[in-house]
Amino acid sequence: MKTDLKGRDFLKLLDFTPEEIAYLLDLAADLKDKKKKGIPHDALRGKNVALIFEKTSTRTRCSFEVAAHDLGMGVTYLDPSGSQIGKKESIADTARVLSRMFDGIEYRGFGQERVETLAKYSDVPVWNGLTDEFHPTQILADFLTAREKLGSLRGKKLVYMGDARFNMGNSLMVGCAKMGMEFTACAPREYFPNKGLVATCREIAAQTGAVLNFEENPAGAVRGADIIYTDVWVSMGEPEAVWAERIAALSPYRVDSALMAAAGENTIFMHCLPAYHDANTEIGRKVGEAFGLDSLEVTDEVFESDRSVVFDEAENRMHTIKAVMAATLRH
Ligand code: CP
Ligand code: NVA
| Residues 105 and 41 both lie in one domain | yes
**Domain containing residue 203: CATH number:** 3.40.50.1370
Under the banding of pLDDT at 50, 70 and 90, the label for residue 80 is confident
Lowest mean pLDDT among 80-84, 112-116, 302-306, 310-314: 80-84
| Residues 176 and 285 both lie in one domain | yes
Residue 173 has what pLDDT? 98
* 147: in domain: no
* 5: in domain: no
| Residues 161 and 302 both lie in one domain | yes
| Residues 124 and 248 both lie in one domain | no
| Ligand 2, pocket-test mutation among 235, 238, 317, 321, most atoms within 8 A of CB | 235
**Known catalytic residue: 114?**
no
- pLDDT digits 0-9 by tens, 228-264: 999 999 999 999 999 999 999 999 999 999 999 999 9
Residue 129 has what pLDDT? 98
Ligand 1: distance of its center to the CA of 255 in Å?
A: 20
| Residues 130 and 182 both lie in one domain | no
Q: How far apart are the first and last CA of the chain?
A: 20
User: What's the pTM value of the predicted model, to 2 decimals?
Assistant: 0.98
Instruction: Write out the residue range of the structural domain in which residue 262 sits.
Output: 157-225+227-266+268-306
| Residues 127 and 39 both lie in one domain | yes
The count of structural domains within the chain is: 2
Residue 326, pLDDT > 90, answer: yes
| Ligand 1, pocket-test mutation among 51, 54, 59, most atoms within 8 A of CB | 59
Distance (Å, whole) CA 223 – CA 77: 44
| Residues 196 and 168 both lie in one domain | yes
What single string gives the DSSP state of each residue in 3-41?
---TT--BS-GGGS-HHHHHHHHHHHHHHHHHHHHT---
Residues 142, 15: contact at Cβ < 8 Å?
A: no
| Residues 122 and 246 both lie in one domain | no
* 214: in domain: yes
| Residues 110 and 182 both lie in one domain | no
Residue 331 has what pLDDT? 78
231 alpha carbon, closest ligand: 2
| Residues 188 and 293 both lie in one domain | yes
| Residues 128 and 183 both lie in one domain | no
Residue of the CA atom closest to atom 6 of ligand 1: 57
**Known catalytic residue: 135?**
yes
Q: Which residue among the candidates 108, 147, 165, 319 is catalytic per the annotation?
A: 108
* 141: in domain: no
| Residues 65 and 201 both lie in one domain | no
Q: Is the peptide bond before 274 cis (omega within 30 degrees of 0)?
A: yes
Distance (Å, whole) CA 141 – CA 266: 20
Residue 330 has what pLDDT? 87
